[in-house]
Structure 1
Amino acid sequence: MKQKTAQMGMFLAAALICSYVETLIPINFGIPGIKLGLTNIVVLLMLYLVGAKEAFCVSMLRILLSGFMFGNAFSIVYSFAGGVLSFFVMLCAMRFLKLHVLSVSVLGGIFHNIGQMIFAAILVNNIHIMYYVPVLLVSGAVTGFLVGILANEIIPRIKRNINNS
């Protein structure tokens, strides 16, 4: 139990560091709301190496803590909306569809944005906000692809290190 708690703490710390690094990277294409999604690397690592329950817990804690540290109440709620939807889509894609980590990551990026846009449309009570979805779908696919490449490189290395110890 202590080892599992320590492991989750390390993954949470890594996710928070990724959140912080993301705040330092200026992405300004004139399109608000686009982020790299670096923290999704940690979620993917946990899904593939540790387990779904642990990955979900760390993901939700990361959203809450990074929102307090680097965001505000709205960013926390929007992140929860996107994070929960994308997590369950990634979990289903991994477990039931047996998709490659790259595809799982792309779906995560896309559905994170879809979750946030659905929440935004409900919050502002205006369906026209959904005109922004195509832009966010492209950005989610691109960033999900990049994150997937990184996760695809990291996962086998961690597995080798675990097996060698």
Structure 2
Amino acid sequence: MPTRKLTIIAVLVAQAIVLHLFEALIPIPIPIPGVKLGLANIITLLALVIFDFKTGLLVAFLRTVLGSLLSGTLLNIAFFLSFSGAITATCLMALLIYWIPSARLPSGYSLLAISVAGAAAHNLGQLAMAALLIKHTAIFYYLPIMLLSSVPTGFLTGLLLRELLKYLKSSGQLEEFYL
């Protein structure tokens, strides 16, 4: 891997970790267990848009492992829930970006839809892992609440990413990723 790309990936992982840790400090106005903004997913989706699936998966993997290590949750239940959600979301978002032609546009409303789908996949991945850990499928009764929460959270992260991409493009920094 070229040094330039490796450096950019390291910066993306660092940004995702900072957002992961920052999000833990934000009080959620509606206290629903398991519902978070998913700010670190902005960076994962950015990696998918500007690079490829392998890089997006690497960013998701490293940010969950290192973020959990720094927050003291490595290898506990929170880590496994976060990890399974991040990997599931990354895989679905990559599927939508790379293999479904109508979603190929990296800007506009398609990016918002991909982000919402990623938030839903994140929640589904978390619930699947929770069902595995507790060895009971009753946890899926919580799925409608989690899916409903993924609409505003996914929309917000998609909107923030869209604005970030606009900024990177207008400042000429987006083209640097493709050099």
How does the TM-score come out when normalised to structure 1? 0.93
Contact 1:81 1:119 survives alignment (8 Å): yes
Number of the residue aligned with 1:162: 173
Alpha-carbon deviation of 1:143?
Answer: 0.2
What percent of counterpart residues are identical? Answer: 33
List gaps (5 residues or longer) in structure 2.
104-109
Mapped to 2, the partners of 1:84 and 1:11 lie a distance apart of 16
Q: Kindly provide the CA deviation profile for residues 14-38 of structure 1, in whole angstroms up to 9, marking residues without a partner as x.
A: 1011011101101152311111000
Number of the residue aligned with 2:91: 88
Alignment of 1:59-138 (within 5 A): 59-72=60-73, 73-97=76-100, 98-99=102-103, 100-138=110-148
Alpha-carbon deviation of 1:141?
Answer: 1.7
Alpha-carbon deviation of 1:163?
Answer: 5.9
- Tell me the number of residue pairs that the alignment of Structure 1 and Structure 2 aligns: 165
How does the TM-score come out when normalised to structure 2? 0.86
Number of the residue aligned with 1:142: 152
| Most deviating of 42-51 and 103-112 | 42-51
Query: Which runs of 4 or more aligned residues in structure 1 lie more than 6 Å from their structure 2 counterparts after TM superposition?
Result: none
Contact 2:17 2:63 survives alignment (8 Å): yes
Mapped to 2, the partners of 1:8 and 1:84 lie a distance apart of 17
Q: Kindly provide the CA deviation profile for residues 71-111 of structure 1, in whole angstroms up to 9, marking residues without a partner as x.
A: 42222211121111111110111112232111110000001
> What RMSD, in angstroms, separates the aligned Cα atoms of the two structures?
1.5
Assess, with a 3 A threshold, how the Cα gap between structure 1 residues 67 and 57 changes in structure 2: closer, same or farther. same
Number of the residue aligned with 1:53: 54
Number of the residue aligned with 2:107: none
